[in-house]
Amino acid sequence: KQEVTQIPAALSVPEGENLVLNCSFTDSAIYNLQWFRQDPGKGLTSLLLIQSSQREQTSGRLNASLDKSSGRSTLYIAASQPGDSATYLCAPGGGADGLTFGKGTHLIIQP
């Protein structure tokens, strides 16, 4: 069964810093991996989707990489802003039967 670990569990940094969120998963037989953002009390917003054949995907200040063979993905956030404060969730997808989620990284960007 797929298990997903996200490190760190929480992170607080001053505005403007570049930061890296880490995700590891135990089963490398995945089709893709999604990164989501969740604001308190809200649903999930999809940030990036990396297909298993891709090494990385970029959207604005966000860059996600995927090393399928080692079971790792990282989300890089450049020039962080207070509006980036949220919980970030990693979810590898093994098929049409749903995603497996980590517990997330709770990020606070200090103004």
Partner 1 sequence: DGGITQSPKYLFRKEGQNVTLSCEQNLNHDAMYWYRQDPGQGLRLIYYSQIVNDFQKGDIAEGYSVSREKKESFPLTVTSAQKNPTAFYLCASSPFSGTGRQYEQYFGPGTRLTVT
What is the side-by-side strand order in the sheet with 72-77? 4-7, 19-25, 72-77, 62-67, 56-59
Report if residue 40 touches partner 1, rule: CB under 8 A: no
Shortest separation between residue 46's beta carbon and partner 1, angstroms:
6
Task: Count CA atoms within 13 Å of residue 70 on its CB side.
Answer: 9
The reply to whether 11 sits near partner 1 by the rule CB under 8 A is: no
Contact with partner 1 (CB under 8 A): which of 26, 45, 70, 81? 45
- Which token pair is 95? 């098929």
The residues binding partner 1 (CB under 8 A) are 4, 30-32, 34, 36, 41-46, 49, 89, 91, 93-104
